[in-house]
Structure 1
Amino acid sequence: MRPLPDRSIDLPAPAVDIALQSSAQDPGSPLTVEVAPDGTVVADGEIDIDSAPYLHEALEAALRVHPEGVTLDLSAVTFCDCTGLGAFLDARRRHLAGGSCPLRLGPVSPPMARLLRLTDTEALFAGHATGR
Structure 2
Amino acid sequence: MHPLPDSPTAPRALADDHGALPPATRAGTRMTVETTPDGTVAVGGVIDSAGAPRLYRILRAALDRHPEGIRLDLGGVTFCDCAGLRAFLAARAAWDAHAARASRHRSLAGRAAPAPRTPFTLGPTSPRMARLLLLTGTGGLFSPPERGRSQ
The TM-score by the shorter chain falls in which range? 0.7 to 0.9
- Give the number of the structure whose residues are more often helix, by fraction: 2
In the TM superposition, residue 42 of structure 1 has moved relative to its aligned partner by 0.4
Q: What are the superposed Cα offsets for residues 57-105 of structure 1, whole Å, 9 maximum, x if unpaired? A: 1100000001111011100000000000001111111112246211222
Q: Residues of 1 paired with 2:132 and 2:29: CA distance?
A: 22
- TM normalised by structure 2 equals 0.64
Pair 1:110 & 2:123 matched: no
Q: Which residue of 2 aligns with 1:100?
A: 117
Q: Which structure's CA Rg is the greater one?
A: 2
Kept in 1: contact 2:48–2:84 (CA 8 A): yes
Q: Residues of 2 paired with 1:124 and 1:53: CA distance?
A: 20
Q: Which residue of 2 aligns with 1:56?
A: 56
Q: Percent same amino acid among aligned pairs?
A: 54
1:40 maps to amino acid: T
| Closer/same/farther in 2, CA of residues 128 and 99 from structure 1, 3 Å limit | closer
1:1-132 alignment to 2 at 5 Å? Answer: 30-96=30-96, 97=99, 98=115, 100-128=117-145, 131=151
Q: How many residues align?
A: 104
Q: Which residue of 2 aligns with 1:5?
A: none
